[in-house]
Amino acid sequence: MMQVKPFIEQQLTDELAPQYLEVLDESYMHNVPDGVQSHFKVTVVSEAFDGLRLIARHRQVNALVAEALAGPVHALALHTYTPAEWQKRNQTSVDSPACLGGSKLG
């Protein structure tokens, strides 16, 4: 079985040389069985994003982790910043919202 978090970290580190990278497994926040690696939040700060629109950044990250997206990953929350944008945000990302899916609504 793929270890998703290390896979994502390695792919993004190798290809984007990030100034900052955080990959959080948020599967526990969702209605999934224990041990399932299905929901991830990725914050990546890289000079590779300079001059790219948000959609191009997300497409780039999605392409780098396509193997995980084709397998166990159901949701990938992406927060992609240039170093200058990261500084303007005081080096903080956005918190993920509470899960509203699955049987938790019932």
Q: ∠ CA(4), CA(84), CA(44), 5° rounding?
A: 0
User: Residues 15-68: pLDDT tens digits?
Assistant: 999 999 999 988 767 666 666 677 889 999 999 999 999 999 999 999 999 999
- Statement: residue 8 has pLDDT above 90: yes
- Statement: residue 102 has pLDDT above 60: no
Structural domains of the chain in order of their starting residue, each with its CATH number:
4-105 (3.30.300.90)
- Pick from 104, 71, 69: which is nearest to 42 by CA? 69
Q: What is the C-alpha to C-alpha distance for residues 15 and 64, in angstroms, rounded to an integer? A: 8
CA of residue 73 relative to chain centroid, distance: 10
